[in-house]
Amino acid sequence: MTNLMRQDGERWTDKLGLGRDPISLEDTISPEFYELELEAVFRRSWLYVGRVDRVAKPGDYFTKEFDALKQSVLVTRDREMGLRVYHNVCPHRGNKLMWDTHADQEVSGRCKMFVCKFHGIGFGTAGNVSKLTDPKAWLEGQGEQMRLKEVPFEIWNGFIFVNFDRRGPQQTLREFLGDHYWNEFDFPYEELSEHYSAKATAKANWKAMVDGFAEVYHATTTHALPFPSAAAMVGAGESFTGDYYNVRGQHREYLMGGYPDDFYHFDYERMTEAFGTGPRHPMDPKYRQIPKGANPIGMENWGNSSTMLFPNFYLQFYAPGWYVTYQMIPLAYNEMRFEIDMYMPPARNFSELLSHKAGVQMFLEAALQDVSLLEAQQAGLETRAFDTYPLTDEEVCVRQFHEQIYKAVDAYVAETRVTDLGEVNL
């Protein structure tokens, strides 16, 4: 799909060729569908792990849990500064290798050797055995031959992705993303080193949160308090809409216009130079030059550029020059974890630091308003009072997302059935 603009009166839904029928949300409430989805979508897609900045020096490490896939990975730097991604499992008796108080909690730090808590066997950052407990007890040198098992990974603009396909990755990360995303997202990400993060869980399917961030239509009601101007527009009979939508294979994107520099509703926003979309103090102009791929139409007054990579990774740029990532991670068919990471240029003085801190709190408050609706939505959907649901033109990305989910699961079911019958091995 090329970069496009619609004509006056034209619908995005029609422009993108996505149809107008109400959609089924059975994929959000079916335990059986969820089990298929884990294999068809999550095990076969490239999944985001974290940024390379987190392992800047040899021995730096962090772990990442993919609970529903029963996978834990260990990301580190070896002595030669090579990036390594391992299964977070000791090859001796299968104990989880790096963990602290609770085995299901992610950890990070820096060390020269990863030591298993079970038998004290240590492994270097290059994956080799560095320490054997009772070396003479091992049979035929099997102890020295153990190595940590590597996980296929690739890097895109400093973002690390892994793949758990049992057959091995069937696409490179570049093929998975497509040339538009692969080539047109250069940006000094590493310079935005002031980092804030938060996590939240909800008794709802992971796609409910993806849908919530796939449109701006809800802002006038869900976020009426932090964004009263949006609510006022709708109250006056106007529309609060995105300025551009597009789909590219499994992925999608939208753009929204920006606000005036003095656009504040409350005194505390004016005093801190921040409001619900983050800090508003003047940032280095170079950070306003977002990647060409994030602003494919060259919109001058952009305020928010949202890139949604299948299945569950969001990259958003916000004026006046910072970015945020989201992940919606499945825990069960009706439970998910939401992870948010905010990256800003280092504050140069106290006023900027205050703006960042205030902006983060207001931004997270708005995000939690989205989370607060999820359990009620899951409960309503599970009544199955309706078989299908109509969508507005502003929810075109919601439509495309579910279309891609059903497409991936249908293909997986067809493939595995054929393979089981022995007709052809794909």
Span 155-184, mean pLDDT? 97
Q: Hunting for tokens 């103090």 — which residue is that? A: 281
Distance from the Cα of residue 97 to its chain's centroid? 25
Helix (H) or strand (E) holding 362: helix 350-382
* Domain identity same for 144 and 22: no
Residues 263 and 353 in one domain: yes
Q: Note whether 353 and 217 are same-domain residues.
A: yes
Contact predicate 53/197, CB 8 Å: no
Say how far apart CA 239 and CA 230 lie, in whole Å: 9
Distance CA 212, CA 48 (A): 20
Whether 216 and 256 have beta carbons less than 8 Å apart is answered as yes
Question: Which residue is listed with tokens 């009166």?
Answer: 9
pLDDT at 1 over 50: no
CB 199, CB 339: distance < 8 Å: yes
DSSP string over 14-29: HHTT---S-B--GGGT
End-of-domain residue from the set 121, 148, 164: 164
Tell me the mean pLDDT in the region 338-348.
97
Evaluate if residue 17 carries a pLDDT over 80.
yes
Cα gap 112→110, rounded to integer Å: 7
Take residue 233 and report the two structure tokens written for it. Answer: 């527009």
pLDDT, mean of residues 208-223: 83
User: 109 lies in a domain?
Assistant: yes
In a domain, 210, yes or no: yes
123/295 Cα distance (integer angstroms): 45
* 423 falls within a domain: no
Q: Is residue 67 part of a domain?
A: yes
* Region of 181 on the Ramachandran plot (φ > 0 left; ψ -120 to 50 alpha; else beta): alpha
Number of domains observed in the structure of the chain: 2
Per-residue pLDDT averaged across 278-282, rounded? 93
Q: Look up the pTM and report it.
A: 0.92
Are 66 and 157 within one domain? yes
Domain that holds residue 58: 46-164
DSSP string, 193-205: -EEEEEEEEESS-
Residue 416, pLDDT score: 87
Query: Mean per-residue pLDDT for 230-246?
Result: 72
> Are 63 and 50 a contacting pair, CB within 8 Å?
no
Residue 421: the pLDDT is 44
For 299-342, the three-class secondary structure string (H helix, E strand, C coil) is: CCCEEEEEEEECCCEEEEEECCCEEEEEEEEEEECCEEEEEEEE
Rounded CA separation 370/218 (Å)? 9
For residue 182, is it within any domain? Answer: no
Which DSSP symbol is given to 139? S
How many whole angstroms separate alpha carbon 283 and alpha carbon 357?
A: 15
**Which helix (H) or strand (E) element contains residue 47?**
strand 46-51
Q: In angstroms, what CA-CA distances link 40 with 2, 37, 308, 413, 416?
A: 27, 5, 19, 8, 10
Element (H, E) at 113: strand 113-115
Which residue, 53, 84, 71, is CA-closest to 152? 84
For residues 299 and 384, state if they share a domain. yes
**Residue 422 falls inside a structural domain:** no
Confidence of residue 418 (pLDDT cuts 50, 70, 90): low
- Could you tell me if residue 424 is inside a domain? no
Q: Is residue 224 part of a domain?
A: yes
Residues 231, 369: one domain?
yes
Residue 57: per-residue pLDDT: 95
Residues 70, 29 share a domain: no
pLDDT at residue 217 in the model: 77
